[in-house]
Structure 1
Amino acid sequence: MIRSCFPALVLLIVAGAIAQADEPAWNRFRGPEGTGVNQTANPPVEFGPDQNVLWRTAVHGRGWSSPVVLGERVWLTTATDDGRRLSALCLELATGDVLWDRVVFEVAEPRFRHPTNSYASCTSFVEPGRLYVHFGSYGTACLDAATGATLWERRDFVSDDFRGPASSPIVHGEWLIVHFDGVDHQFLVGLDKQTGATAWRRERDIDYGVDNGDLKKAYATPRVIEVDGVAQLISPAAVETIAYKLPEVEPLWRIRHGGMNAAAPPLFDGERVYVTGGVGPMSLVAVRPNGHGDVTDTQVAWNEGRNVPQRSGPLLLEGRLYTTDDRGIAACRDAATGEALWTKRLGGTFWASPVTAAGRIYAFNQAGEGFVFAAEDAYRELARIELDEEVNATPAIVGDTLLVRTIDALYRFGVEKE
């Protein structure tokens, strides 16, 4: 009797440890609120495959999703290169040991995936006891965070992302919110996070101006902000970004920036929302979020089309916007005016978004070169890292360590405690 109860007791202890974590350390794409900022952390400046590496764990398959962390556990998703098996893994934060690894969905006939993408590019969302994984229209599931067991799943949403899925889910209250901006259908849904049932569905009412579905798709992750006591769901799409009033999920305001393939989460400093619109003339827009209807001509503080990333998201820190773009150029702008403070050619192509802690910015290009530079009005490089492994996933900052996913593995960098 004691022996048979022991595994269940272990699971209860693990689940309890997860549930008792005070705050999610890095619970979603780009961390809490999707900003890429951890103000209390102090990861190392110098690190690499042979320096300040706490562990390296090989990860099978192909995936650009970022690791998420809660308590003493790390979760991430991956997929076979052909997209037929979509998996989730759980690792121990202290050691990198794999605690569980399971196939969540099997796909009989995967659609086309562009070589620049993967079938596991959507970053999960974790909260005490629950891990929400999303693979575009191939499936969304809620897993028991401790065991990986499926609590509910949905596979009935129809939307052809064409080049592979990438938009990540968020949780707001009792909803799991997911974007589906494909070439055929464009909509967003709120799912009851306890059951997976559809709480609401909102079709995009955007005049795209074209019949070409390739110009209607987007990969952005939304964000909820509060303005004058009203919750707004800021939802970037192709051509427009729409703010929906919550809980009604009714359009409140919209900005028509043009473009396609919007990918980055919006940022908010209390005065302006910063939207990266993808490929288009108004690629980076600062908009005041207190308008109604079409605010393109009334609420835009500034916009910029030069040195703006298409995949990598910006960082907002102490009144400055930092970006690393697809041409290898890092830039810093005054967030209030959009004025360029500096630009620096780093080289390579940046797909992963930069992250920041302790007044330092950590950015990796696709070739695995890492750049650590000061968050200041002038570019000041602090370190340059050579991982010699491809990096497409945005890192996570947890405590005094940095988690970096390469094409083959997950690294945890930090200084060994004596």
Structure 2
Amino acid sequence: MTPPFRSSRIPAIRTLLTHGWLGASAVLATAGETEWPQFRGPTGQGISQAADVPIKWSATEGVAWNVEVSGRGWSSPVLSKGRLYLTSAETDTASGDVTLHALCLDSKDGHVLWDTEVLRPDPGKVAAMHRKNSPASATPIVTGDRLFVHFGHMGTAALDLSGKVLWRQTELDYPPTHGNGGSPVLVGDALIFSADGQKDPCVIALDAKTGVLRWKTARNSTAKKLFSFSTPLAIEVGGVKEVISPGSGFVGAYAPTDGHELWRVGYGEGFSVVPRPVFAHGLLFLSSGFDRPTFYAIKPEGAAGDATATNVAWSISKGAPNTPSAVVVGDEVYFVSDGGIATCAAASTGEVLWNERLGGNFSASPVAVDGRVYFQSETGVGYVVKAGKTYELLATNELGERSLASYAVADGAIYIRTEAHLWKIGR
């Protein structure tokens, strides 16, 4: 598979999640990949170097196992050392309270190794929820010795890998709209996430060892609707570490040490921003959110202050996604609109090479494996497309169950969370 970008062409710019920013795990995206430690994998950008990943499957064919997952949740599974981790929201049969859980499953057969109740939030905090959201939508992060779980305004926690809660942080209350959707990023020993609620949106960093607040930076957005749900991405530009976090009205770059804003690029009234940024070829690829999204390529090198007029390389409005993130393979960037239009464009120029309707609606972010791009629809249909300048559909795979979560990928297998089950596709 062609690397997502060529470091020889842009030596001063790189993503940091592939170089030890996941703490003790120090996960590298290498051939024979068996780790998927965070939302969108080792790099946080949907790229896998796994081998022998299946192309075709159905609810009855190519399935290694599927197990029922108790409760509800749209967090994507993560994987480390043969163990899968995810979160779920359950209802206490005695009190009727919603309880928030972290689960660990054996990747060989799917049996539950442990299930820990992490938080029991106030019922009022879980009442307002979008139909496509859940109380447990943020994807965990797993390192060599810890699991970090995030439930937005309801709280954040760290567990050891036996399921013991090490700390809880429930003091950072904010008024959400539609619940929580964004996942955190681990940058050294700081756990960083957006808190873009209906008022006073901000970016927050916790001490990963203790859960204590490190810093909190106000967005200072002029957008009329302030709520958003994006997951940050950590990069390095010219030796400077930056955390890229899209919010309503603009995407901002923040210093991971103290949270001060390094630069921003505005996109008007864009709100409810969900896609995680992607970084390749010296460009950030991201979408501006509702109501009419625009897909942007932004050059972070040389950006300072308000860089809207100077650092936008190109943009595309037709087929831009509101929810799924993009993925870059070789010299092309791929994305799918919520309405099912898949697009391939030249990463450096934005020239559209093809647009094709896959069918159905999409929320999950695509993954790229071995020269293929995998898209998952909301009805549980997986579309496998050959990466390239011409469109070639390789397979259409139906599971027959609603799915909003993104894939986890390992050697020989894809892990898919649907409304009631977790599936292992492959060997």
Cα separation, partners in 2 of 1:83 and 1:76, compared to 1, 3 Å: farther
Is 2:164 aligned against 1:154?
no
Give the SS at the match of 1:349. Answer: coil
Instruction: Give runs of aligned pairs for residues 14-413 of structure 1, distance below 5 A.
Output: 25-80=35-90, 84-109=98-123, 110-145=126-161, 147-208=162-223, 210=224, 215-258=225-268, 259-279=270-290, 283-290=294-301, 291-413=303-425
Q: Indicate conservation of the 8 Å contact 1:41/1:397, yes or no.
A: no
Cα separation, partners in 2 of 1:91 and 1:21, compared to 1, 3 Å: farther
CA shift, 1:80, in A, is 3.2
CA shift, 1:107, in A, is 2.2
> Structure 2: how far apart are the matches of 1:272 and 1:372?
26
Give the SS at the match of 2:38. Answer: coil
> Structure 1: how far apart are the matches of 2:349 and 2:290?
22
Gaps of 5+ in 1: 1-18
Q: Indicate conservation of the 8 Å contact 2:339/2:360, yes or no.
A: yes
Give the SS at the match of 1:153. Answer: strand
CA shift, 1:83, in A, is 7.4
User: Deviations along 1:274-331, whole A, 9 cap, x unmatched?
Assistant: 1212125562111110211111111110112210111111111111111111111111
Amino acid aligned to 1:276: S
Give the SS at the match of 1:32. Answer: coil
> Structure 1: how far apart are the matches of 2:343 and 2:137?
25
> Structure 2: how far apart are the matches of 1:186 and 1:64?
23
CA shift, 1:249, in A, is 2.4
Corresponding residue pairs, total: 391
CA shift, 1:270, in A, is 4.2
Moved more, 33-42 or 295-304: 33-42
> Structure 1: how far apart are the matches of 2:380 and 2:203?
34
CA shift, 1:41, in A, is 3.1
Give the TM-score normalised by structure 1.
0.90
Cα separation, partners in 2 of 1:270 and 1:227, compared to 1, 3 Å: farther
Q: Indicate conservation of the 8 Å contact 2:294/2:320, yes or no.
A: yes
Give the TM-score normalised by structure 2.
0.88
Give the SS at the match of 2:255. Answer: strand
Q: Indicate conservation of the 8 Å contact 1:192/1:198, yes or no.
A: yes
CA shift, 1:207, in A, is 2.2
> Structure 2: how far apart are the matches of 1:305 and 1:319?
20
> Structure 2: how far apart are the matches of 1:331 and 1:101?
40
Identical residues among aligned pairs (%) = 37
> Structure 2: how far apart are the matches of 1:154 and 1:107?
12
The runs of at least 4 aligned residues of structure 1 exceeding 3 Å deviation read 19-24, 80-83
Q: Indicate conservation of the 8 Å contact 1:28/1:126, yes or no.
A: yes
Amino acid aligned to 1:71: K
Give the SS at the match of 2:172. Answer: coil
CA shift, 1:21, in A, is 9.2
Gaps of 5+ in 2: 1-23, 29-33
Q: Indicate conservation of the 8 Å contact 1:257/1:280, yes or no.
A: no
CA shift, 1:405, in A, is 0.6
User: Deviations along 1:377-415, whole A, 9 cap, x unmatched?
Assistant: 111111111101111100111112100111010101114
Q: Indicate conservation of the 8 Å contact 2:54/2:412, yes or no.
A: yes
> Structure 1: how far apart are the matches of 2:128 and 2:392?
42
- Matched residue, 1:11: none
> Structure 2: how far apart are the matches of 1:282 and 1:364?
20
Report the structure number with the largest CA radius of gyration.
1
CA shift, 1:247, in A, is 2.5
Give the SS at the match of 1:80. Answer: strand
> Structure 1: how far apart are the matches of 2:197 and 2:181?
11
Q: Indicate conservation of the 8 Å contact 2:249/2:267, yes or no.
A: yes
> Structure 2: how far apart are the matches of 1:144 and 1:253?
36
> Structure 2: how far apart are the matches of 1:184 and 1:407?
31
User: Deviations along 1:192-211, whole A, 9 cap, x unmatched?
Assistant: 11111111111112222x3x
